[in-house]
Structure 1
């Protein structure tokens, strides 16, 4: 299982084994939940930090 997860996170499969491109070959993209919340409150995409056109569509809540 460790080998599978490692290969998945590093994008070392010929095809996406899970069918979802969200985590595919995205090394070094961990963003803590606190930073994601800060970015979302600032109107930025929580994962990329880029301006988000959808920022005002979803209310920001703390869990």
Structure 2
């Protein structure tokens, strides 16, 4: 394996890790929105979102997590 192949692989692994971290962060955010909408719906206005925006974001969770 040549050095260029190795650096390309590392970059790909770094990119993959970054993508997974982003997905996890978005999932946590959507779970928090879901919890907030259920427990403290008045806080939705405080963070500058509409109820429709929150519902659209929650809808992006996989169906088994909604």
TM-score range, shorter chain: under 0.3
TM-score by length of 1: 0.22
Report the structure, 1 or 2, having the larger helix content: 2
Larger radius of gyration: 2
Work out which structure has the larger RCO, using CA pairs closer than 8 Å and 6 or more positions apart in sequence: 2
